[in-house]
Amino acid sequence: MEVTSTADGGVVEDSGTMAKKTDVLELINQAKSLVESSRKLPLSHCTLVDRESLLKLLEEIRLALPSNVKQASQVLRRRERIINQALAEAHRILVANAEDLEAKAQQHSLVALAEKKAEDILKQAEYQVRLMMVDAEKQITVPQEYTSHMLSRTKHKLGQVISLLLHRKSSKPR
- Nearest one of 131, 5, 138, 112 to 65, comparing CA atoms: 5
pLDDT at 5: 43
- Its sign, for the CA torsion 161, 167, 169, 172, is negative
Q: Is 43 left (phi over 0), alpha (psi -120 to 50) or beta?
A: left
Whether the pLDDT of residue 18 is over 70: the answer is no
Distance CA 105, CA 63 (A): 63
pLDDT at 173: 66
Q: What percent of the chain has pLDDT over 90?
A: 25
Average of per-residue pLDDT across 2-29? 54
Half-sphere exposure of 57 (CA within 13 A, CB side): 17
Average of per-residue pLDDT across 139-164? 80
- Nearest one of 61, 15, 8 to 34, comparing CA atoms: 61
Per-residue pLDDT tens digits for 89-106: 999 999 999 999 888 888
Amino acid at the residue 166: L
